[in-house]
Amino acid sequence: MGKRESYEAKTTELIQPVVEANGVELFDVDYVKEGSDWYLRVYIDKEGGKVASILTMINHVNDYPTDLTGKKVVVIGGGAVGLDVVEFFAPRGADVSIVEMMPIIGNGIDPVSKVDMGTLMKKYGVHQMPNTALKEVRPDNFLVEADGELKELPFDYGFVCLGMKAENPVLQQVKNAFEDDQNIEIVNIGDSVRARRIIEGTEEGRNILNTLEKRGYL
């Protein structure tokens, strides 16, 4: 287990009693480097609360009103996940803000999607806040910092979308089970490697075909 995994596992162990005592759900623990700094984040969800993760949003996607005029939506995280939330809420009339710690919102997404999202955000007046760091999550507002100044961002719906990480709980077990069989090649693909875009998934799908061909199945 590496340093990152060790920190995440230990934090999960320490935080679990607090989570259970407060009646909330532990969504994820992430120790990640952003720029030159390392951040240890604990993601929690509370049923009925104003702050949600992308998974909570997906689970309740049919519960959001189609007309959100006058409602404030604040999205923390300017990557692909955060932009998906913006794309859902902005056309519904909500006053949407998107916060990103790095200088560019939409960094790493494909050019076509970036242009489309730029057009959408301009059309619906989305407030873009790059170079802005999340300092604290509160029940009805986020405390952020930009240019050395702290600012509260109140919301009716708040979303923390700081990325997703690989999920491969059985990969090592599979490798161990077949490590002595020379006729079997274990190929790890998709979000099991790292949470990425569909274009990487398509490329890895082609790589699977190459592996099957090499093994004589095609």
Compare 141 and 204 and report the one with higher pLDDT.
141
Q: Is residue 110 in some structural domain?
A: yes
Looking at residue 166, what is its pLDDT?
A: 66
Do 152 and 57 share a domain, yes or no? Answer: yes
pLDDT at 10 over 80: yes
pLDDT at 3 over 90: no
Task: Taking residues 29-57, report their average pLDDT.
Answer: 80
What average pLDDT does the structure give for the chain?
A: 85
User: Token pair 């006058």 is at which residue?
Assistant: 70
Do 56 and 152 share a domain, yes or no? Answer: yes
Do 53 and 144 share a domain, yes or no? Answer: yes
Task: Taking residues 158-183, report their average pLDDT.
Answer: 79
Looking at residue 24, what is its pLDDT?
A: 76
Domain of 101 in residue numbering reads as 48-160
44 forms bridges with which residues in the sheet? 26
User: Per-residue confidence at 178, pLDDT binned at 50, 70, 90?
Assistant: confident
pLDDT at 197 over 70: no
90: buried, middle or exposed (CB in 10 Å: 19+, 13-18, 0-12)?
A: buried
Do 140 and 187 share a domain, yes or no? Answer: no
